[in-house]
A and B are shown apart, each in its own frame.
Chain A
Amino acid sequence: MANNIVIETKGLHKTYDESKVPVHAVRGVDIKITEGEFTAIVGPSGSGKSTLLNIIGGLDQPSEGSIIIDGQDLSKLKPNQLIDFRKNNIGFVFQSYNLIPVLTAKENVEFVMLLQNRNEKERSERTKELLDAVGLSDKYDVRPTELSGGQQQRVAVARALAPKPKFILADEPTANLDSTSTRNLLDIMARLNQEENITFVFSTHDQRVIERARRVISVEDGKVESDIIK
């Protein structure tokens, strides 16, 4: 497979100027991520990891610079186009799972496909396939509150994958998990990455998670300190 670039940032800056003292959270980040990567963004608390991921995912706008996803410059999209673009191209996994509480595991995974107007057959096949892939074939009809944190996060991964996005962004996906669940989740992510060639970009503080990554981008004070491909 050729080196297909899915994410490219050019001269990214982000300044929060809502408070009296402006916070310069990202100061000039240029990175390229190619299809099939399994990349960790690491750095101390406050170094700008979340800010960076939010901008890459189109949830937040940069103060300066541009993000190009699969050839599309996000700043060129209107708000509703951006939502559709996100829905179809980017999968999100959040630190605190963020499943829709009133929907079952199956319905949570199905939800984005419903928003995409996929047909019934396609939806249920894909939902089954994904929940099986994350090892939850016996939890289809269970609501999030009855699942453990690790199980919820696996549903979140399945949900993120449902619309067949170009890549998955995960902001500290294991921060709320115990070590067994962490290992379990990483196994699943790594397998999806290897077997299905799904691109993962995740942020973390956790040394055990960093070890599993194949590329580690360290940020500090909003700048890339080092970029190591193992």
Chain B
Amino acid sequence: MAQLFKLARRNIWRNKRRTIITVCSILFAVFFATFMKSMQKGTWDNVVNSVVSNFFGFAQIHENGYWEDLSLNKSMEYNAELKNLADSDENIQDLVPRLESFALGSHDIKTKGVVVIGIDPVKENKLTNLADKIIQGKYFGEESKGAIIASGLADYLKLTVGDTLVMIGQGFRGLNAAGKYLVEGMVEFGSPELNNGMVYLPLDQAQYLYGAEGRITNLIVDTDKPKKIKETVSSLKNTLGSEKYEVMDWEELIPDLVSARQMDTAGGTIFLNILYLLISFGIFGTLLMMLKERQYEFGVLLSIGMKKWQIFIMLWFETIVLAFIGVLAGILLAMPLIYYMFANPVALTGDMASAYDSFGIEAVVTAAFESGIFIQQGIVIFVIVTLLSLYPFFKIRSLHPVKAMR
């Protein structure tokens, strides 16, 4: 066996051209496959993160039917059961209440439709780090009664911190809603959709504005175990029952995002399969060439007493070693580039960017730097090459020493 391995090693050295062609094609395959996978994963993870953890949360609880109507009439009472619900599941860190609705916001002669969100300042900040997005003024304190507005909206309405924002809308059960709010702070969002329309109020102020005392529209699940969100959702459903409340994870909340990701990933998979197919042909070509070139040599080995399986093992060793080198080199080559893309996301511009914006997502392309992707792609390509290298077995089996040496 050791002898076969030694022969294999020397054969690899001897036929440098074949070695280089084989190693390079494996290397490129691994390089592209890991790069593609990492970029796809990274970009989508970023999308999900920016949408989910910056705004929607990984799951939400509403009054039944709220997500369909988005109407204040489907708001729910923020009662003791809901307030204590966070203790029901250990994966839930907190449940963050919001009262969301619409209004017309105006200042001087400018008016614009805005999204009003009443928040519990402390809880909301833990969930979405809203205070970090403040670019002017201050985040809500204990006693705040004013508003925090998004900078795009502020520009449009020509508002700055210290000015007064007037809002008019329709409240709970058709009441008129109107109020004046001191602008206490300004936040900036990467997504233009958020940045051009958001107004935050302290929860009690929003409830007062809309005549919805003690009510909220959304209760957002704050979790540090997003991977277990399905379990958490079903345990919440169990606790609450399906009569009065709906519990939705982020995939139900934003199904468009899920299907967009699936489409994109499917496209990527097709591309990857084409890549696998191409390198399979490449490797197969070098195998065929090698078998033809060395047929004579195999005839000699057979006639001096080497068994067919020994020749086959020798060839198999050769390919395995080449595959190993190729896979390793591919990973080592891809790593720095992927890491660079991971550490330095590229901001998108143009059409792509506006497509992202319409989802309310920061438009950046970035990579995931995950060992899982390297391992997975490395193994897939290694297995492909290993399987391909079984082909010579059929050739060697039918080898006849005299014919091989002719």
Residues of A in contact with B (beta carbons under 8 Å apart): 54, 57, 59-60, 80, 83-84, 86-88, 92, 94, 98, 100-103, 111-112, 114-116, 159, 163
Most buried by B among A54, A60, A86, A115: A115
Residue B392 CB within 8 A of the other chain: no
- A216 to B310 alpha-carbon distance, docked (Å): 38
15 A-B residue pairings within 8 Å (CB atoms)? A59-B401, A60-B401, A83-B305, A83-B306, A83-B307, A92-B303, A94-B300, A94-B405, A98-B296, A98-B405, A100-B300, A102-B13, A102-B14, A111-B304, A112-B304
Asked whether, in the complex, the Cβ of B402 is within 8 Å of the Cβ of A101, the reply is no
Residue B3 CB within 8 A of the other chain: yes
- A220 to B11 alpha-carbon distance, docked (Å): 42
Given contacts A100-B297, A102-B11, contact A87 B305 (CB under 8 A): yes
Contact string against A for B residues 1-27, beta-carbon threshold 8 Å, 1 for contact and 0 otherwise: 001000100110110000000000000
Counting residue pairs across A and B whose Cβ atoms lie within 8 Å, the total is 52
- A54 to B402 alpha-carbon distance, docked (Å): 7
**Chain B residue at smallest Cβ distance from A91:** B304
- A154 to B305 alpha-carbon distance, docked (Å): 19
- A60 to B406 alpha-carbon distance, docked (Å): 12
- A102 to B14 alpha-carbon distance, docked (Å): 7
Asked whether, in the complex, the Cβ of B305 is within 8 Å of the Cβ of A115, the reply is yes
- List, in ascending order, chain A residues with CB within 8 A of B297's CB: 100-101
Asked whether, in the complex, the Cβ of A84 is within 8 Å of the Cβ of B305, the reply is yes
- A80 to B13 alpha-carbon distance, docked (Å): 30
Within 8 A of A (CB), among B83-115: none
Interchain nearest-CB distance for B403 vs A (Å):
9
Interchain nearest-CB distance for A158 vs B (Å):
12
Residue B388 CB within 8 A of the other chain: no
- A163 to B305 alpha-carbon distance, docked (Å): 10
- A17 to B10 alpha-carbon distance, docked (Å): 39
- A60 to B402 alpha-carbon distance, docked (Å): 7
- List, in ascending order, chain B residues with CB within 8 A of A86's CB: 303-305
Interchain nearest-CB distance for B303 vs A (Å):
5
Given contacts A59-B402, A83-B307, contact A98 B10 (CB under 8 A): no
